[in-house]
Amino acid sequence: MNETCYDSDDNMSRLDAVKQLFDNFATRSMAYNFHHVIGLVKFDSSVKTLHTFTETLETFKEHVHNLEANGCTVLYDALKRGMSQLKQVGEQFPDCRLRIICLTDGNDDGSMTEPDAVTTKLMSLNIVVDAIVVGKVDNNVLRGISNATGGCCFKPETSKAGLKLFEMETVLSLEMRKLKKKLDPSYIRSENILVALFANRGYDEKPEVALPSGLNDKVTGTENALKKKIQESKSGRFLEKDKRLLEELKSLHCDPHPFCTVLPSESDFTFWKILMQGPPDTPYEDGVFELYCQFGADYPVKPPLVRFVTPVYHCNINSVGRICHNIFDRSYNAHITMRDILDAVYGLLIVPEPQDPLDSILAEEYLTSRNKYEEEAKKNTEEVAGQSLDDMEKELLGEELPEKFIPSHLICPLTNKMFVDPVKNQEGTVYERKAIEKHLKRYEHFLLVACQWISNLVNCTCCSDHLRVTRVH
Provide the pairing of β-strand 422-424 with 455-456. antiparallel
Helix/strand/coil for 463: helix
Distance separating alpha carbons of residues 204 and 118, to the nearest angstrom: 22
Residues with a known catalytic role: 324
CB 6 within 8 A of CB 134: yes
Distance separating alpha carbons of residues 259 and 250, to the nearest angstrom: 17
Lowest mean pLDDT among 42-46, 81-85, 447-451: 447-451
Q: What per-residue confidence (pLDDT) applies to 329?
A: 92
Residue with the bigger pLDDT between 31 and 262: it is 262
Question: Where are the extended beta strands (E) located within 108-152?
Answer: 127-133
Q: Which residues contact 397 (CB under 8 A, 6 or more apart)?
A: 219, 220, 221, 263
Task: Please state whether the peptide bond connecting residue 300 to the residue before it is cis, i.e. omega within 30 degrees of 0.
Answer: yes
pLDDT in tens, 50-108: 888 988 888 888 888 887 777 678 999 999 999 999 999 999 999 999 999 998 888 88
**Domains delineated in the chain:** 14-201 (3.40.50.410), 213-390 (3.10.110.10), 408-470 (3.30.40.10)
Distance separating alpha carbons of residues 78 and 72, to the nearest angstrom: 12
For residues 22-27, give the mean pLDDT. 86
Residue with the bigger pLDDT between 24 and 271: it is 271
CB 304 within 8 A of CB 353: no
Distance separating alpha carbons of residues 144 and 283, to the nearest angstrom: 42
Question: Which of 214-223, 248-257, 283-292 is predicted most confidently?
Answer: 283-292
pLDDT in tens, 418-431: 666 777 766 677 76
The radius of gyration of the chain from alpha carbons, rounded to an integer in Å, stands at: 27
Q: What per-residue confidence (pLDDT) applies to 452?
A: 47
Give me the helix-helix angle, 140-148 and 191-201, nearest 10°.
80
For residues 334-342, give the mean pLDDT. 97
The residues with which 41 forms a beta bridge, in sequence order, are 49
Q: What per-residue confidence (pLDDT) applies to 322?
A: 95
Q: What per-residue confidence (pLDDT) applies to 254?
A: 87
Q: What per-residue confidence (pLDDT) applies to 65?
A: 80
Q: What per-residue confidence (pLDDT) applies to 241?
A: 85
pLDDT in tens, 212-245: 999 999 999 998 999 888 888 777 667 778 889 9
